[in-house]
Amino acid sequence: MEPMHPKLRAALKQAHPGLTDQDIDRSEELLAQRMSYDPEKNAERIAELDGERMELIQRTMPRYAEIARIVGAEQALQNRATGPKYTVEIKSPKG
């Protein structure tokens, strides 16, 4: 699992005064733990981790989903604008 993008981290902190790096790190830690379990064998533990993470997010980052969508959309637009450029060259048939 990749760590949270620095732009998302900064945007969350801007949108939620008082939010700490420790709060964000804990959320990521819970998500990483969740991903390490087999859903078929550990559904109960996954539900516990999901519940703990959702409680943390609701308490410390209530606008998490909104901010994540905004940052994701901005990143997608930037990637599209700066993505690779292709040149198509049309050659005339030999004759």
Per the CB < 8 A criterion, the answer to whether 8 and 67 are in contact is: yes
Q: Find the Cα–Cα–Cα–Cα dihedral 36, 29, 54, 74, rounded to 10°.
A: -100
**What is the per-residue pLDDT across 36-88, written as a single tens digit (0 to 9) for each?**
999 999 999 999 999 999 999 999 999 999 999 999 999 888 877 666 666 66
Band (8; pLDDT cuts 50, 70, 90) = very high
> What letter would DSSP give residue 83?
S
> 2 pLDDT band (50/70/90 cuts)?
confident
Which tokens go with 66? 């909104």
> In whole angstroms, what is the distance from residue 7 CA to residue 12 CA?
9
Looking at residue 81, its pLDDT comes to 65
Rounded to two decimals, what is the model's pTM? 0.76
